[in-house]
Amino acid sequence: MGKRECGIVKRRDERMKTVSIQPASRLSSVNEYYFSAKLAEIARMRSQGIDVINLGIGSPDRPPADNVIDALKINASDIRNHGYQSYTGIPRLRQAFARWYKEHFDVTLDPDGEILPLIGSKEGIMHISMAFINPGDEVLVPDPGYPSYSAASSLAGGTVRKYSLTAGNGWHPDIEAIEADGVDKVKIMWINYPHMPTGATATRELFCRLVDFARRHSILLCNDNPYSFILNDERLSLLSVPGAWDVALELNSLSKSHNMAGWRIGMVGGNKAFIGNILKVKSNMDSGMFQPLQAAAAEAMAAPPEWYETLNGEYRKRRIKAAELMTALSCSVDEKQTGLFLWGRIPARYADATELTDELLYNYSLFITPGTIFGNNGRNYIRISLCATEDTLSEALARITSRPISPN
């Protein structure tokens, strides 16, 4: 027998199928995030007893400092800290971001208007896009580059224009080539230095040229800067360049620098007018972060130099192992790259990186990220994450060396 609800007779095992309600047309311009689908596939493989080694995700596997966790516990124990928080973050957090930027980037930010805490910097990419892009506006996005720049631009109604980064130009934008293609409709340009996935770093000269370009064409220049502290000796902020305040924003995050990826603590810095526009979007989409998280994040940014030195000491050892794995896969690596990953060029015998990474996943139970997901210029590269222990990287290497991949 069926059950009658609202005049409709349903069988107990029947699922109502919605056939007339279609998703928004904007979804046709984006796909599910690559890692969302791939992690689900890896989970299915593991549920079948397959021991998949994951070297694809840049999620730090070490904890934050003990005093950061202690600050979280202490503040969570205070019954006054469990209510809604300000959309602009607690003053202590904004002040901590300001001190952090002054100490490490020599940039002065006013905590009362030039800093907006975010639930991770990825949130900021969407907020910036919604705050500044009108339908028809063009957005310059690096190729290769973080896929969220394109996705957020499309969801906000913008038109994505890829600009080419190659090993030949040091993974830096060719500003003259971009201008030659026309920039009349360009509203935003995304840059990301230290660069993910290639590990390339910017120079002050490059930032000066980019700021000049943005000022001449009234383009909002956005630098995504979460990798400055990882295997990088020269920390550089776009906001330190003269003239940047008229045209620039910078995102940053504690995910990589303080092992706090799951905590979702980020920020955007820039002039008060820009920050105010972003706040209009943010305040209509979410509330403030849990107060104990904010208090603990402020504690994290007071870390002494030894914290960063110890963290990078671990990543240096892992990078050696990752380089050995690249060699076993006959991939070449630029030794000057920085950041949380190792970026390697694949052998010419593969049509593209996906062919190699599929072979590794299904024949060796080893997941490595194909450069194809970062753009056309990444199709001949793979990316290995350093967010795995030396033992895990050694196990991955052992799987390859015990049964080497055929060169044919």
Looking at the domain assignment, is residue 47 inside a domain? yes
Boundary of a domain, candidates 303, 326, 349: 303
In what helix (H) or strand (E) does residue 73 lie, and over which residues does it extend?
helix 66-76
**Are 211 and 133 part of one and the same domain?**
yes
**Are 191 and 48 part of one and the same domain?**
no
CB 399 within 8 A of CB 365: yes
Looking at the domain assignment, is residue 78 inside a domain? no
**Are 196 and 315 part of one and the same domain?**
no
**Are 134 and 205 part of one and the same domain?**
yes
Boundary of a domain, candidates 303, 325, 346: 303
Q: At what angle do helices 291-300 and 91-105 cross, to 10 degrees?
A: 20
Which CATH number fits the domain that encloses residue 48? 3.90.1150.10
**Are 170 and 318 part of one and the same domain?**
no
Which CATH number fits the domain that encloses residue 137? 3.40.640.10
pLDDT at 37: 82
**Are 182 and 231 part of one and the same domain?**
yes
pLDDT at 171: 98
Per-residue three-class SS string for the chain: CCEEECCEEECCCCCCCCCCCCCCHHHHHCCCCHHHHHHHHHHHHHHCCCCCEECCCCCCCCCCCHHHHHHHHHHHCCHHHCCCCCCCCCHHHHHHHHHHHHHHHCCCCCCCCCEEEECCHHHHHHHHHHHHCCCCCEEEEEECCCHHHHHHHHHCCCEEEEEECCHHHCCCCCHHHHHHCCCCCEEEEEECCCCCCCCCCCCHHHHHHHHHHHHHHCCEEEEECCCCCCCCCCCCCHHHCCCHHHCEEEEEECCCCCCCHHHCCEEEEECHHHHHHHHHHHCCCCCCCCHHHHHHHHHHCCCCHHHHHHHHHHHHHHHHHHHHHHHHCCCEECCCCCCCEEEEECCCCCCCHHHHHHHHHHHHCEECEEHHHHCHHHCCEEEEECCCCHHHHHHHHHHHHHCCCCCC
Looking at the domain assignment, is residue 120 inside a domain? yes
Boundary of a domain, candidates 282, 303, 324: 303
pLDDT at 18: 54
The whole domain housing 337 covers 26-62+306-402
Q: Which residues of the chain have pLDDT under 70?
A: 1-19, 406-408
**Are 344 and 360 part of one and the same domain?**
yes
Looking at the domain assignment, is residue 219 inside a domain? yes
pLDDT at 175: 98
pLDDT at 2: 57
**Are 161 and 266 part of one and the same domain?**
yes
Looking at the domain assignment, is residue 76 inside a domain? no
Q: How many domains does the chain have?
A: 2
Which residues are CB-contacts of 215 (< 8 A; sequence separation ≥ 6)? Answer: 243, 246, 247
Looking at the domain assignment, is residue 175 inside a domain? yes
Looking at the domain assignment, is residue 16 inside a domain? no
Q: What pTM does this model have? A: 0.92
pLDDT at 5: 61
**Are 314 and 291 part of one and the same domain?**
no
**Are 391 and 294 part of one and the same domain?**
no
**Are 54 and 171 part of one and the same domain?**
no
Is the C-alpha dihedral spanning 345, 346, 351, 357 positive or negative? Answer: negative
**Are 355 and 251 part of one and the same domain?**
no
Looking at the domain assignment, is residue 21 inside a domain? no
CB 197 within 8 A of CB 224: no
